[in-house]
Amino acid sequence: MNATVKNIPLELIKTDWAGPVRLDIKALSELKKSIEKEGVQTPIWVWEKQENEYWLVSGQHRYECSNKLGLKTIPSIVKQIKSDAEALFFSFLENQRREKLDAYEKLIISYRYIQARLKENEIDLSFQEIQQLVFKIRRESKNKRIEEMFKENKKIEIICNANEDLNIWKLNSLSNQSVMLSYAEPIQEALVDGLSVAIATKIHKITTLVDKRERINEASRCVKLVKVDGNYLSPKNASQVLRKREEQIASRTEETSKKFKLLEDCNLCHRTLKNITDRLKEKESSNEIIDDILKFFNSIDERIETI
């Protein structure tokens, strides 16, 4: 039996319900030309969440092109879906079939699906809270059977079952990939924007070389370095640019270390001399010695001020 196709107003379709969507700019440009010439040939999939509100399940590029072209409606197939989790599952299967998803996209899909499954059980957790449980599963699974962990924590059972539903990767791999959720915000935004996972990982490593207070700014700086005229550099060129940045930071860090070492030495002298002068002040005949020491004392102060 053929699915019924209906033209649904674009304004009734919600596209961001599953979070940020990564678009292929080149594919988008080619598809836009095709739709402009021949219209939308393949219907999108939607879920009628409630009356006059549809959630996009598959067809983000077709939707975006239609919207940019000013079309009012788009051919759609309304899927019979019962829950957010099921909608995410269908969306993943369809997108995986049509295009190759990278590790970050799969990670976000996994976490949103896990989150939806938890909500079905009236458990509301953030990505960060789920991430900590994923790490806990890996850490404790070395000494416990998964079944034992299920009995102790219902959340862990739901996470494991949800991960098995998607069958993207094993729990250990999910734990490894989950580190990306700890990347600085500019890096995660760039990943959604099209930055490759490999380059994002390099940028993250560079941010660990600077003070924690500077990591967001450093991440933003590195992202700008690898994006030229609105496009990200090739992995090879981006790696070269980032290698230079890493060398700059290393050089700066070495220079800073030298200054701190000198400062520590000066402070040590400062404390030692102060101790001596305090002791010499107890003897009246030591005034001349004290004056000489204080002169040296002042010279150290001047040296510290230049650092």
Among 232-236, 246-250, 258-262, where is mean pLDDT lowest?
Answer: 258-262
Measure the CA–CA gap between 79 and 268, rounded to whole angstroms: 74
Domain count along the chain: 4
Based on the fold, state whether residues 192 and 119 are members of the same structural domain: no
In a domain, 93, yes or no: no
DSSP 8-state secondary structure symbol assigned to residue 157: H
| Among 293, 298, 265, 133, CA closest to 125 | 133
The last residue of one of the domains, among 253, 269, 296, is 253
DSSP 8-state secondary structure symbol assigned to residue 205: H
Please tell me the pTM assigned to this model: 0.72
Confidence band (pLDDT; 50, 70, 90) for 171?
Answer: confident
The last residue of one of the domains, among 32, 47, 82, is 82
Q: Where are the alpha helices (DSSP H) in the chain?
A: 25-38, 60-68, 84-98, 103-120, 127-140, 146-152, 154-166, 171-177, 185-193, 197-207, 215-225, 235-280, 287-305
In a domain, 95, yes or no: no
Among 82-96, 110-124, 177-191, 279-293, where is mean pLDDT lowest?
Answer: 279-293
Based on the fold, state whether residues 1 and 76 are members of the same structural domain: yes
Phi, psi of 5, deg, nearest 5: -100, 130
In a domain, 243, yes or no: yes
Q: Kindly tell me if the per-residue pLDDT of 304 is higher than 60.
A: no
What domain range is 146 assigned to? 101-182
In a domain, 120, yes or no: yes
Based on the fold, state whether residues 219 and 282 are members of the same structural domain: no
3-state DSSP assignment of residue 9: strand
Based on the fold, state whether residues 178 and 188 are members of the same structural domain: no
Would residue 41 be called left, alpha or beta, if left means φ above 0 and alpha means ψ between -120 and 50 degrees? alpha
Measure the CA–CA gap between 246 and 225, rounded to whole angstroms: 12
Confidence band (pLDDT; 50, 70, 90) for 95?
Answer: confident
Based on the fold, state whether residues 113 and 137 are members of the same structural domain: yes
In a domain, 90, yes or no: no
Based on the fold, state whether residues 221 and 244 are members of the same structural domain: yes
Q: Kindly tell me if the per-residue pLDDT of 258 is higher than 60.
A: no
In a domain, 27, yes or no: yes
Confidence band (pLDDT; 50, 70, 90) for 183?
Answer: very high
Residue labelled with tokens 């983000």: 60
Based on the fold, state whether residues 195 and 133 are members of the same structural domain: no
3-state DSSP assignment of residue 24: coil
In a domain, 122, yes or no: yes
Based on the fold, state whether residues 218 and 201 are members of the same structural domain: yes
Based on the fold, state whether residues 164 and 195 are members of the same structural domain: no
Q: How many residues does the chain have?
A: 307
Based on the fold, state whether residues 10 and 63 are members of the same structural domain: yes
3-state DSSP assignment of residue 59: coil
Based on the fold, state whether residues 270 and 232 are members of the same structural domain: no
**44-50 and 73-79 as β-strands: parallel, antiparallel, unpaired?**
parallel
The last residue of one of the domains, among 182, 209, 234, is 182
3-state DSSP assignment of residue 144: coil
Residues 3-35 have pLDDT tens digits of: 789 999 999 999 888 776 777 778 889 999 999
In a domain, 88, yes or no: no
Confidence band (pLDDT; 50, 70, 90) for 40?
Answer: very high
Neighbours of 203 (CB within 10 A): 26
